Amino acid sequence: MIHHQKRRLFLAGLTIFFIGLNQLAASTLSDPKFSQAIYAGDIAYKKFDNHAALTNYRRAVELDSSNYEALWKLARAYVDVGMALPKKEQPQHYALGEKLARRCATLYPDSANGHFFLAVALGRVALYEGGKRKIQISKEVKAEAERALQADPKHDGAMHVLGRWNYELADLNFIERTVAKIVFGGLPSGASYEQSAQYFAQAIKFSPEKPVHHYELARTLLKLDRDSDARQHLEQCLALPEVFWDDSQHMLAAKKFLEKLPKP
């Protein structure tokens, strides 16, 4: 009898706990200030106004520091803003992006964007780290991108990150690899241009409208001496409308690659 009473009390407490969570989520969603901050951030992001996006997403996180959408969008904004700043100002923005994305990935381990933007932020943080730490971070970048894909097998961003991961490691020369092996104990194994091309092709399969996927696939295909295929994707990159704030840079680079290719 006592056992059954304890069980009923436990179940009742559990029910109250989940009701409380639902009420908390509902109160956040119904909070007009929170909804307005997310909406304003989204509008700014679509207009490529990264500073305004950051300001609004930061306001949303101030209103709810555990909201999934607010956390990953603010992490993204810190990375975007950081990329356009002078180099000495970039690390602090990348570190804040990493912190927010890590919190998001911890609170929502089965959701893709926390892991994805943690991989993105870590990739930027790695640019300012020494050799051994850079190698450690590269392993975490790969692991987080793979976790994002486990949560969402159609996540083109995670595929893109894995494509870049393979490209950057495959692109190291013999001296760089030798130094990494002697000084830092070696690099992660298995990276190749072929793997890189496969990931970028998959990203295009799920999001063909994004110029950056075509640009990165073309760049990889050139490494594989597949100039004709690369040309097609460079042309597609230039033909598509801009989706991200830095697509104009990808298009400029694509144009330069095209100019260097022999005429078909």
Domains parsed from the chain with CATH numbers: 34-130 (1.25.40.10)
**How high is the pLDDT of residue 188?**
74
The gap from C-alpha 227 to its chain's centroid, in whole angstroms, comes to 28
Of residues 237 and 26, which shows the higher confidence score?
237
The residue-averaged pLDDT of 233-255 equals: 98
Most distant pair of Cα atoms in the chain: their distance:
86
Q: How confident is the model at residue 31 (pLDDT cuts 50, 70, 90)?
A: confident
What pLDDT digit, counting tens, does each position of 170-214 carry? Answer: 887 666 666 666 555 666 777 899 999 999 999 999 999 999 999
The gap from C-alpha 166 to its chain's centroid, in whole angstroms, comes to 15
Q: How confident is the model at residue 82 (pLDDT cuts 50, 70, 90)?
A: very high
In this model, does residue 247 exceed pLDDT 90?
yes
What pLDDT digit, counting tens, does each position of 209-241 carry? Answer: 999 999 999 999 999 999 999 999 999 999 999
Provide the whole-model pTM.
Answer: 0.85
CB burial of 87-121 (b: ≥16 within 10 Å; e: otherwise) equals: eeebbebbbbbbebbbbbbeebeebbbbbbbbbbb
What pLDDT digit, counting tens, does each position of 32-75 carry? Answer: 999 999 999 999 999 999 999 999 999 999 999 999 999 999 99
Rounded CA-CA distance 154/164 in Å is 17
**How high is the pLDDT of residue 17?**
41
Which of 137, 63, 56 is closest to 95 using CA atoms? 137
**How high is the pLDDT of residue 182?**
55
In this model, does residue 138 exceed pLDDT 80?
yes
What pLDDT digit, counting tens, does each position of 83-111 carry? Answer: 999 999 999 999 999 999 999 999 999 99
